[in-house]
Homo-oligomer: A and B are copies of this chain.
């Protein structure tokens, strides 16, 4: 088991390599390999272990009643998955988790993570903090996106997003981390329509932009 690799994952962030070795036994760590298209977790089951992708990647797949399915998320190397279900005892998964290539997964017991281990090891505290931080961060990301996609008009979505970016950067001039296609996907709009709207907004004097550099023009 590659403990060094784990030091760079969000879950084990701030925990040293030998501390991790110790911690892994606390958490009842189990490793397992999956072939492409093999199912890691199945919808309907309830779990108490989270998964951590050591190599390869997995997809979060939602199956609809009428047979069609939709890939809702993609979890890459170092990321964890199913933690939301593992944190709610008895909760049944509403989606499948499927290996989308040759993938190694590390399973960790959420129960053990959340009960102070008998040895009272110090890193335990740290991993709980990390866990909650990851969860909180996901919440904020989802909330933000939800807020931006709430408005029906394309312009309002852009204004909402740009407004938040300005706030986050603490300046009306900033660079966004998306190209046009990615931004369009994020806001759930059509790329060309968005490009069009952006240039209209520039004509209207609301914003100025060049590539990924944006400046918001206040009414002042």
What chain B residues lie within 8 Å of A138 (beta carbons)? 139
Report the minimal beta-carbon distance from A73 to chain B, rounded to whole angstroms. Answer: 8
Structural contact, A132 and B129, CB atoms closer than 8 A: no
Taking A125-B114, A188-B150 as contacts, is the C-beta distance between A65 and B162 under 8 angstroms?
yes
Structural contact, A133 and B88, CB atoms closer than 8 A: yes
Which of A84, A120, A125, A140 has the most CB atoms of chain B within a 10 A radius of its CB?
A: A84
Tell me the complex Cα distance, A83–B138, Å.
12
How many identical subunits does the complex contain? 2
Residue A2 interfacial (CB < 8 Å): no
1/0 contact trace for A153-190 toward B, CB 8 Å?
00000011011101110001000000000000000100
Residue A136 interfacial (CB < 8 Å): yes
Which of A64, A120, A164, A188 has the most CB atoms of chain B within a 10 A radius of its CB?
A: A64
Structural contact, B143 and A64, CB atoms closer than 8 A: no
What chain B residues lie within 8 Å of A88 (beta carbons)? 133, 136-137, 140
Structural contact, B115 and A172, CB atoms closer than 8 A: no
Residue A94 interfacial (CB < 8 Å): yes
Chain A residues with a Cβ under 8 A of chain B: 43-44, 62, 64-67, 70, 72, 83-85, 87-88, 91-92, 94, 114-116, 120, 124-125, 128-129, 131-133, 135-140, 142-147, 149-150, 152, 159-160, 162-164, 166-168, 172, 188, 206, 216, 218-219
